[in-house]
Amino acid sequence: MIRADELNRVIFGCGNFGGLGSSPTLRDKGDGRERALALLDQARAIGFTRFDTANTYGGGVSETVLGAWLKDQGPDFRSRIEIATKVGNPNGCPAGERPLSRAQVAYHLDQSLRRLGIDRIDLYYLHEFDPLTPLEETLEALDRALAAGKIARFGVSNATADDLNAVLALTSGSLRQAFTHVQNGFNRLETADLAEVIPLCRAEGLRYVAFSPLAGGLLTGKYSSEGKAGAGTRLGGAPGFFDRLLTPASFEAIDQLRRRASENGWTIPGAALRFILDTQGVDSLIIAPRSAEQFAGYGIVGL
């Protein structure tokens, strides 16, 4: 399902540490510290070298746990891996402030560096575009961060083609060279980016990273067409987040994945990841396993 030479295309996501993503209402649904540390240990043992988090995941817990783990891994390991985090989710912005204002970017960048225990972030994403802040102001804040050596590169997330064109129009020189990644939701059930975003990334030399590769767990094959989800699952913990995907067409696509998995001796999640890795123009994908069994189900144990 995932060849040994493809592991660098799979990113370990820390979005379940301390909560499910950035939502304050889901802080009790995520992975606790000990489980998170064990999952990170397993990720390193398998060979992961790319890790993704955000300043708002678990209200900052995700960065804190990842930072504590990194401290115990030693400088040699740190020099060989990529750490990505994000800024600009409205859940991290105080009332009356703008998520991607110059001041908020500078403040949260320093907070992320402190929690992660590092001097420079390898890849810094704009988590969501901020309609309240001129893009020029946000990009100026990133330019300052680059000049100060606090970030090495930056990317954007949850971006449309118009968003990408706007960033491209306002960047040049070293700032344009530092704009390297786009991270959007993409999976077998959500393929809208094939029309414009992915071709634009290819044309501009941007690396496209797919998050939610299993559509909140729908593409594991464990849910029925009634969409009922058990306790402890992402779909069960975040009702309403994936309602738009609970359609007959989605379950037909899942049945197609099931048949492909059976024909090739794969798991259904493995077939879902294979779909993404085989999509032209997709650089990499993010997985967020919550147990050793899920690592195995993705088809990456033993690489």
Residue positions annotated with a catalytic role: 57
Question: Whose structure tokens read 């309602």?
Answer: 243
- Classified as helix, coil or strand, 180 is strand
Q: What ranges in the chain are assigned the alpha helix state H?
A: 33-46, 61-73, 75-79, 102-116, 135-147, 161-170, 173-178, 197-204, 234-237, 248-264, 268-277, 292-297
Q: Which two tokens stand for residue 173?
A: 């020189």
d(CA 133, CA 157): 16
d(CA 38, CA 159): 33
d(CA 171, CA 175): 6
CB 276 within 8 A of CB 186: yes
d(CA 212, CA 193): 14
d(CA 214, CA 209): 14
CB 267 within 8 A of CB 261: yes
Q: What's the gap between Cα 274 and its chain centre?
A: 17
